[in-house]
Amino acid sequence: MLYNNNRGEYMKYTEERKPIINILFFALSMACLFIMPSVFYTIMRMFFEDSLTLQFLSELFAIVLLFLIYYKDLIKEFKIYIKNFKKNIPIMLKYYILGILIMIVSNLFISMIIGEVSSNESAVRENLFAFPVYTMLSIMIVAPLSEELVFRKSISPLIKNKWIYAVVCGLLFGGAHLLAGEFELINLLYLIPYGSLGFVFALMNRETKTTFSSITMHCIHNTFTGLLLLITYSLGVL
């Protein structure tokens, strides 16, 4: 259950579980994102040669495992999402715009210092331009689902205070994106733009009472940025 600071009462939209179970679910979620896809890929590599397809299937495998962990919660949250969708649109936009503003300003500041994009961003662009269909499917579907379930959903029952929860989500989300590329100390600055979305997505979920709010906005964000990169690349801008 999550704690509603505004009303001072528990919001019964997730399964009531003992703290140790929530910690176990968090650990399992991390394993689903960082370990199980590699295990699945290694095993299936013995039977299939198409590495790109296997990579995508490995990511889908992780999502299936995450849904199996949280399916009871997600069924309830999806009902809330559908029921309150129109009412929650302004809330979702409010937090998303805030996150985007922080991201834009911080990226401009960092670009003046470093003069280049992060290694994670460079890797994403390289894959996007080389394998546009696969990469678009990955960032449109796989990333929003897996990252929101791991970096928002799994953490939420562990932390009652929404501000501490949002900060922790932002730091873990930003840190994971930094670890995905080549790490250099100066790249810690990218915790701000990456973490800003994690921060606002966490607040969004607490206020709307459903993880599907951040999944929706995460999907929209990735789709828009992916298409924008492809368009600018095709025009020779990048």
User: Domain of 34?
Assistant: 2-234
Tally of domains in the chain:
1
CA distance 125 to 233: 10
Structure tokens at 189: 């600055």
Q: Please give the Cα distance from 189 to 215 (Å, whole number).
A: 25
Which residues face 4 on adjacent strands?
9
Distance, in Å, from the CA atom of 66 to the CA atom of 34, rounded to the nearest integer, reads 12
pLDDT at 183: 67
Pair 77, 14: CB distance under 8 Å = yes
Tens digits of pLDDT across the chain (238 residues): 343 444 333 344 455 788 899 999 999 999 999 999 999 999 999 988 888 899 999 999 999 999 999 999 999 999 999 999 999 999 999 999 999 999 999 999 988 888 777 778 888 899 999 999 999 999 999 999 999 999 999 999 999 999 999 999 999 999 998 887 666 777 788 899 999 999 999 999 999 999 999 999 999 999 999 999 999 999 987 6
Query: Which of the 8 DSSP states describes residue 131?
Result: S
Give pLDDT, residue 16.
72
Check if the beta carbon of residue 1 is closer than 8 Å to that of residue 12: yes
Q: What is the rounded distance in angstroms from the CA atom of residue 141 to the CA atom of residue 137?
A: 6
What single letter denotes the amino acid at residue 156?
S
Could you give the dihedral angle defined by the CA atoms of residues 118, 41, 55 and 31, in that order, rounded to the nearest 10 degrees?
Answer: -50
Q: How far apart are the first and last CA of the chain?
A: 46
Say what the pTM is: 0.89
Q: Which residues of 52-69 are buried (b: 16+ CB within 10 A; e: fewer)?
A: eebbbbbbbbbbebbeeb
Instruction: Give the three-class secondary structure for 10.
Output: strand
